[in-house]
A and B are shown apart, each in its own frame.
Chain A
Amino acid sequence: MNEKDDNKDFLKSDSEFTGGADNEKLRSLLRTWQAPDAPSALDTRVLAAYRRRNTLPTWRRMVTATIPVPAPVAMIFVVLLLASALLAARALRSGELKPDRTITSAAQTKTTEAPANQEKAPAFEVNSPGSVTETVRNDSSAPIAGRAAGSMDAGRSEVIPRVAKPASLKTVGKVHVLSIESDHGTIQLVTGDEYRLSATPKIYAGGYSKPSNERRLP
């Protein structure tokens, strides 16, 4: 069949395709092949399927519901999911990803000023020249027994806190963020899924410290 014939055919309308003696002959010949009637089993199958569908409880319909998603969209979604999981795992492994629990709602944050008369009951202790000791109690007056001990170089105002009794920090209960502010700086304890202690001394040994120093507790 050459292209000319095809082009001539494109110009024909439905009626021209239908009409013509040749086409009529061919059509009557084709009609000698008749398709059988649809079997009655088909009626039963279709009706049964419809009834099954309608009698399904709503919860089951919800569970078995399907959403057609184009394959490329599904592929992109899976790739994005894998990539984000990979990045998150890598970040966690290298310690880059630390959940910032200091940004919480006001209801979750409690700041306790260290009272001057409780200074002898140490909760967090920062060992340094001229040692600073702070005592903190929560609202229920139960002593917070966690103890942090840090070391600081004489010339550098960097505090690296260390926790002596991490298990006892569980007694903190609902307190998620506990801040201790003193003239020397701020010590912050974050509880929740994991404990984190950070110390931000203001002035020490005659100079300014680094703004923050954190250590995640086990």
Chain B
Amino acid sequence: MPDAWDRDSDASLMERTRSGDEAALLQLYQRHRDPTFHFAYRMLGSAEQAEDVTHDCFLSLIRSPGRFDPRRGSLRAYLYAAARNLVLKRFRRSLNEVAGENLGEKAHAAVPEEPLRHLLAEELSGEVRKALAQMSPLQREVIVLFEYEEQSLAEIASIVGTDVGTVKSRLHRGRECLRRELAPYLNGAGGKRREKSDHE
């Protein structure tokens, strides 16, 4: 059941936020915090950096609310685009550090009840994280936005500032890359582990 603040549009909440309504800001923040944070986290692989990026996104919204134009797209898309720009800026600043070290941070797996399954899930999520880390940032952002954040192709195109055809191409290539990297896990759970033990 949609409650009162769910019915408020982002644009009206932005107007209220601009006029100093803290409750409106909180609503907006709670609505968009997690998607923005998750996107930044999956791009950077670091919770600390993702926190900074999310903070900066909301800060820019607070400082310059006029930059968000509801006619050009949703607030979610605006925040994703802001997060993307900040992430790419970080990539440019310290490409090696981000690609090499931060994505090595321990992956968070979906936690099943049994311990063995938990271990398997952790290993699997680690492999997924590694496979994503090996992709180029442009392919990764499309994969993250489409597969995890469930944005449409048109929305992704507006977020990354390109056309739908390019998004489709990047998505297709990204998927191919992931299929290649995760082939043992796609063909059968634990396939890669079996291969490893065979070698040993």
Chain A residues with CB under 8 Å of B59's CB are 46, 49
B176 touches which of A1, A38, A42 (Cβ 8 Å): A1
Q: Which label, helix, strand, loop or mixed, suits the secondary structure of the B interface?
A: helix
Which A residues contact B (CB, under 8 angstroms)? 1, 5-6, 9-10, 12, 14, 17, 22-23, 25-27, 29-39, 41-43, 45-47, 49-51, 53-54, 68
- How many residues in B have their beta carbons less than 8 Å from beta carbons of A? 51
With A23-B175, A38-B51 as contacts: A49 and B110 at CB distance below 8 Å: no
CB-based contact A38/B34 at 8 Å: yes
> Which of the candidate stretches B35-43, B68-76, B84-92 sits at the interface with the other chain?
B35-43
CB-based contact A38/B108 at 8 Å: no
**Count of A-B contacts judged by CB separation below 8 Å:** 114
Chain A residues with CB under 8 Å of B109's CB are 32-34
CB-based contact B42/A35 at 8 Å: yes
Question: In the complex, which residue of chain B has the Cβ closest to the Cβ of A39?
Answer: B51
CB-based contact A54/B20 at 8 Å: yes
Chain B residues with CB under 8 Å of A31's CB are 110, 147-148
Cα(A43)–Cα(B17), bound, Å: 16
B76 vs chain A, min Cβ distance (A): 15
Cα(A54)–Cα(B64), bound, Å: 13
Chain A residues with CB under 8 Å of B41's CB are 35-36
Q: Which label, helix, strand, loop or mixed, suits the secondary structure of the A interface?
A: helix
CB-based contact B34/A53 at 8 Å: no
Cα(A37)–Cα(B111), bound, Å: 14
CB-based contact B63/A30 at 8 Å: no
- Provide the B15-28 mask, 1 if CB < 8 A to any CB of A, else 0: 00100101001100
With A33-B128, A51-B22 as contacts: A14 and B153 at CB distance below 8 Å: yes
CB-based contact A1/B37 at 8 Å: no
> Which one of B47, B58, B109, B168 has the highest number of Cβ atoms from chain A below 10 Å of its Cβ?
B168
CB-based contact A50/B55 at 8 Å: no
Question: In the complex, which residue of chain B has the Cβ closest to the Cβ of A22?
Answer: B179
CB-based contact A27/B147 at 8 Å: yes
**Can you list 30 residue pairs at the A/B interface with Cβ under 8 Å?**
A1-B172, A1-B173, A1-B176, A9-B172, A10-B169, A17-B146, A17-B153, A17-B168, A22-B179, A26-B147, A26-B175, A26-B178, A30-B143, A32-B124, A33-B42, A33-B108, A33-B109, A33-B124, A33-B132, A35-B38, A35-B148, A39-B47, A42-B51, A47-B25, A47-B26, A49-B59, A50-B25, A51-B22, A53-B62, A54-B22
